[in-house]
Structure formats: structure tokens, C-alpha cells
Amino acid sequence: MEDLIIRGEKPEDHGAIRSLIVETFRAAYGTGDLEADLVERLRDQSAFGINISLVALQNDLLVGHVFFSGVHIAEHPDIAACALAPLCVSQPLQRLGIGSILTQRGLSACQDAGYKAAVVQGSPAYYGRFGFSPIGQFHLRTVFLSEYDMALALDDGALDAVSGLVDYPAPWDALRDE
Ligand SMILES: CC(C)(COP(=O)(O)OP(=O)(O)OC[C@H]1O[C@@H](n2cnc3c(N)ncnc32)[C@H](O)[C@@H]1OP(=O)(O)O)[C@@H](O)C(=O)NCCC(=O)NCCS
């Protein structure tokens, strides 16, 4: 897509990121504050691993955002894993590939940062295209017990001998109660 810039978030993006998350998640699911609060709480702590936050800009306007943060696989503290959430693209610009670019760039930044695996809760039809598979295929499980739980090995074979509970840090508790 022409004129699209993808870069890491800067502190001055925080307000626009919040507005975009609220607007897109409210339109899609009637939520928004929940996901925006999650990002803000995760920004304040990175006990489970570093955060990766990318924005998409078009004509200086923030039109997309993706956030990755650390999670633990309970029985395998040696495997650095991250969760993708949230991902959003400004409504008028959806279905033009921006979400895919943000996801792909984000996954590659996670790989560069040393993450060996990623998890996401989302549509298998959407995240399948980036290589995510249902979490049960990796003998993993989450407290969300959702059919939308998916996982991806960022290093080939990184999840082959891995099983157990994916442990999310406290900021995720609000989503768990939903
Ligand atoms: C999901 C979202 C980020 C996708 O961004 P995007 O820039 O529109 O995505 P892309 O253009 O890269 O991909 C579009 C494709 O994804 C599909 N798609 C978009 N949202 C989808 C969804 N919720 N479930 C399944 N498929 C979806 C489209 O049908 C399209 O498929 P096609 O390529 O076969 O035509 C965007 O629609 C959005 O912000 N939605 C509201 C927030 C949200 O649901 N976030 C994800 C939560 S896990």
C-alpha cells in the first residue's frame, strides 16, 4: 500500500492508539476500553517479556496498531513466548492489507527480540494465514478455554516438545472475566 509507514510506537502516539483501539473494537464487538486499558497496563509492566508495539501511519495519521507482550508457558519458563493483542485497523482502511502487514512485521520483530513462540485469541480464518494453528495442536491450553486460542512457533520446532498452560500476566485478568 502506498504511503504506508510502519514503525515502533512513540510516547506521543499513545493517545491516538487508545482512540483507534476504542473506535475499532467498539464498532466490531461493543468493547474498546477493555483492549485499550490492556495495552496501557501492559506498557507499565513488562515482567513477562518485552513489549513490541507497532503503528501504521498514512499521511501522518495513525491508521493501524498491533501490540505484542510476554506470556509464560507454565512448565517451560525457558521458552520466551508472546501474545498478540490487540490488532486494529481504522475502519475505512480495513481489508487493504494493513492488518496483515502489521502482523507480519510484528511477528518478525518478536522473532528478532528472541521470542520463540506467539499466541493469539482470534479468528482461525484470519490468523491461520500467518501460520497460527489451534493451540490444542501444540498441547497448550489457556485459562480462556476459547476455540479462538491459537499458537505459532517463531523458531521451527520451538513448540514441539512443549505442553502446558499459557500464563498471562495480571493486566489480562479483566479480559478473562468477560
Ligand atoms: C481484524 C483487522 C485488524 C484486520 O485488518 P485488515 O487490515 O482489515 O486486514 P487485512 O486487509 O490484512 O486482511 C483482510 C482479510 O482479513 C479478513 N478478516 C478481517 N477481519 C476478520 C475477522 N474478524 N475474522 C476473519 N477474517 C477477517 C477479511 O475477510 C479479509 O479476507 P480476504 O483477504 O480473504 O479478503 C481489522 O478488521 C480490525 O481492526 N477489526 C476490528 C478489531 C479486531 O477485530 N481485531 C482483531 C481482534 S483478534
Q: Tell me, what's the pLDDT at 41?
A: 95
Looking at residues 160-164, what average pLDDT do you find? 90
Are residues 123 and 87 in contact, defined by beta-carbon separation less than 8 angstroms? Answer: no
Looking at residues 62-83, what average pLDDT do you find? 95
CA of 93 to the centre of ligand 1 (A): 11
Q: Tell me, what's the pLDDT at 66?
A: 98
81-97 tens-digit pLDDT? 999 999 999 999 999 99
DSSP-derived 3-state class of residue 117: strand
Q: Going by CA atoms, what residue is nearest to atom 18 of ligand 1?
A: 126
Work out the percent of the chain whose per-residue pLDDT is above 70.
99
43's CB contacts (< 8 A; 6+ apart) are 14, 51, 53
Q: Going by CA atoms, what residue is nearest to atom 28 of ligand 1?
A: 95
Q: Tell me, what's the pLDDT at 75?
A: 86
Alpha-carbon span 134 to 92, nearest angstrom: 30
Q: Tell me, what's the pLDDT at 177?
A: 63
SS3 of the chain: helix, strand, coil, percent, to 5? 35, 30, 35
15-36 tens-digit pLDDT? 999 999 999 999 999 999 999 9
Q: What nine digits make up the cell of 158?
A: 520451538
Alpha-carbon span 109 to 143, nearest angstrom: 27
Ligand 1 nearest atom to the CA of residue 27, by list position: 41
Q: What nine digits make up the cell of 137?
A: 495442536
Q: Tell me, what's the pLDDT at 11?
A: 97
Are residues 52 and 6 in contact, defined by beta-carbon separation less than 8 angstroms? Answer: no
Looking at residues 72-76, what average pLDDT do you find? 91
What rounded mean pLDDT belongs to the chain?
Answer: 94
Ligand 1 nearest atom to the CA of residue 94, by list position: 8
- Residues with CB under 6 Å of ligand 1 are 24-25, 28, 86-89, 94-100, 122-123, 125-126
The residue type found at 78 is D
Q: Going by CA atoms, what residue is nearest to atom 27 of ligand 1?
A: 126
State the residue for C-alpha cell 498491533: 66
φ and ψ at 148, to 5 degrees? -95, 0
Q: Tell me, what's the pLDDT at 178?
A: 62
Q: What nine digits make up the cell of 57?
A: 501511519
90-144 tens-digit pLDDT? 999 999 999 999 999 999 999 999 999 999 999 999 999 999 999 989 989 998 8
CA of 106 to the centre of ligand 1 (A): 16
Ligand 1 pocket mutation pick from 35, 95, 102 by most atoms within 8 angstroms of CB: 95
Ligand 1 nearest atom to the CA of residue 28, by list position: 41
- Name all domains of the chain by residue range, CATH numbers in brackets: 4-176 (3.40.630.30)
Q: Going by CA atoms, what residue is nearest to atom 43 of ligand 1?
A: 88
Q: What nine digits make up the cell of 94?
A: 480495513
Q: Tell me, what's the pLDDT at 128?
A: 97
Alpha-carbon span 37 to 24, nearest angstrom: 14
Kindly state the helix (H) or strand (E) to which residue 61 belongs, with its residue range: strand 61-73
Model confidence band, residue 65 (pLDDT cutoffs 50, 70, 90): very high
Q: Going by CA atoms, what residue is nearest to atom 3 of ligand 1?
A: 88
Q: What is the CA radius of gyration of the chain?
A: 15
Stated pTM of the model: 0.96
CA of 126 to the centre of ligand 1 (A): 6
